[in-house]
Amino acid sequence: MAQRLHLVFGGELVDPSKTQFKDVDDIHIVGMFPDYASAHDAWKSEAQRTVDNAHMRYFIAHIHRLRDEETEASSTEELG
């Protein structure tokens, strides 16, 4: 069974209605999680912790979607 990895990260946004970070060097990497449920729990915890700052946002990135296991090489592997 393929792993379905998820990355939880966040930081302060320039504008709360957009997704551009104010300072990419200050992005908070919460962690990598083996399934969506545990990633969602981590995301929710961080989102609740920073609820008083309207510019703070946390996201879940579906890392498993970056790699297509059915093809011989993914597009990122072809670059290197």
- Dist CA 79 CA 27 (whole Å): 26
Predicted confidence (pLDDT) per residue in 4-48, tens digit = 899 999 999 999 999 999 999 999 999 999 999 999 999 999 999
Contacts 24+ apart (CB under 8 A), 17-23: 19/57, 19/59, 22/55
Instruction: Answer for the pair 16, 57: CB distance below 8 angstroms, yes or no.
Output: yes
Identify the bridge partners of residue 9 per DSSP, sorted by sequence position. 29, 59
Predicted confidence (pLDDT) per residue in 53-66, tens digit = 999 999 999 998 87
Task: Assign 6 to helix, strand or coil.
Answer: strand
Which pLDDT score is estimated for 79?
47
Which pLDDT score is estimated for 73?
52
Q: Which CATH class is domain 6-70?
A: alpha beta
- Dist CA 24 CA 77 (whole Å): 25
Q: What is the pTM of this model?
A: 0.79
Highest mean pLDDT among 3-7, 50-54, 75-79: 50-54
Q: How do the domains of the chain map onto residue ranges? A: 6-70
